[in-house]
Amino acid sequence: MSVRRFSPQTLLLLVLFVILGALALFPFYCLALASFKPSKELLRFGLNIKLQADLLSWNNYSFIFSAGGAKYITWYKNSLVITAVYTVLCMLLSSMVGYGLAMYRFFGRNLIFIFVLLVMMVPIEIIMLPLYKQMIALNLIDTFSGVILPFVVSPLPIFFFRQYAAGLPKDFLDAGRIDGCSEYGIYFRIFVPLMTPAFGAMIIVQALASWNSFVWPLIVLNSGEKLTLPIGLSSLVTPYGNNYDILIAGSVLAIVPIMLVFVFFQRYFVSGLTVGGVKG
């Protein structure tokens, strides 16, 4: 049985990446440890790496899943619903737009793509007031639809899908037409499977953006039972009282869905971002 030997350069890179990984995980360790501590301990010493077994308990998590934490569970469900619906609609519509810009030749195609690039450069803060007035006109204030619909066709996924689809052979398009597929059949049966890496990459990016979205849901949503998780967690810190123990425990649980999404789609994420980097 042969033993694999590493060169000094490989060992040095391995040690470097282990150190960088430990530094990246260090804040999460402090956050997870603090979620088991009482609020008074956090106010006295803040986030630290001291592992004191006598101070650790499940009280914070027990409170979240008890009657007292009913609001937190509601916020969590709201964020899950909004993120799931937004991600599915964004992937469907944005991929179709990007696919259309890449595969079809029509008048104004390049102009539309230029507008997509220009919109990518516009900060959301600039268009919030017009969007808010539009939501009022459509009677979508304080609804999940008002949070989701303005961004379901997003410029970043359009750009990404367009670039990905442009690298796919157009012979598949002609072959599908010869076999009698409709244009929608060609897209769903042929090109969607081919664009799986692009979908994996964009699902991670857009789900993370929706899950962490704060400003726009804060503007649109008014009812307490419709608040999302970032807004609800921010309401725990007020001038009249700070529930840091519940805030930190809730933040730890808030990481779980995005971690699951990343773990499930990370192999597609890597291949989706590196496609086209190697020419064969």
Question: 35-53 pLDDT, tens per residue?
Answer: 888 877 776 766 777 777 7
* CA angle (72, 76, 77) in 5-degree steps: 120
Same domain, 133 and 157: yes
Same domain, 112 and 197: yes
Q: Are 118 and 54 in contact (CB under 8 A)?
A: no
- The last residue of one of the domains, among 39, 64, 89, is 64
Same domain, 73 and 51: no
What domain count does the chain have? 2
| Rg (alpha carbons) of the chain, rounded to whole number | 24
- Its pTM stands at 0.85
DSSP string, 110-144: HHHHHHHHHHHTS-HHHHHHHHHHHHHHTT-TTSH
Report the distance separating Cα 280 and Cα 269, nearest Å: 21
Same domain, 89 and 40: no
Report the distance separating Cα 64 and Cα 71, nearest Å: 9
- The last residue of one of the domains, among 20, 48, 64, is 64
Q: What is the CATH number of the domain that holds 96?
A: 1.10.3720.10
- Domain holding 183, by residue range, is 69-274
In a domain, 279, yes or no: no
Same domain, 132 and 53: no
18: which 2 tokens?
A: 């282990």
Using alpha carbons, select from 35, 39, 76 the residue that is nearest to residue 58: 35
- DSSP character for 237? E
Contacts of 90 (CB under 8 A, 6+ apart): 151, 152, 153, 154, 157, 202, 206
Q: Are 249 and 64 in contact (CB under 8 A)?
A: yes
Q: What is the pLDDT, as a whole number, of residue 212?
A: 92
- The last residue of one of the domains, among 64, 92, 110, is 64
Question: 217-274 pLDDT, tens per residue?
Answer: 999 998 888 999 999 888 877 656 667 778 888 888 999 998 899 888 877 766 655 5
In a domain, 280, yes or no: no
Same domain, 88 and 2: no
Contacts of 5 (CB under 8 A, 6+ apart): none
Same domain, 97 and 155: yes
What is the H or E stretch that residue 80 is in?
A: helix 70-103
User: Please, what's the largest Cα pairwise distance for the chain?
Assistant: 73
Q: What is the pLDDT, as a whole number, of residue 278?
A: 40
Same domain, 114 and 223: yes
In a domain, 225, yes or no: yes
In a domain, 100, yes or no: yes
Same domain, 112 and 151: yes
pLDDT in tens, the chain (280 residues): 455 666 778 888 888 988 998 898 888 888 888 888 887 777 676 677 777 777 788 888 888 888 667 788 899 999 999 999 999 999 999 999 999 999 988 888 889 999 998 988 888 888 889 999 999 999 999 999 999 999 999 899 999 999 899 888 888 888 888 888 888 999 999 899 889 888 988 999 999 999 999 999 999 998 888 999 999 888 877 656 667 778 888 888 999 998 899 888 877 766 655 554 444 3
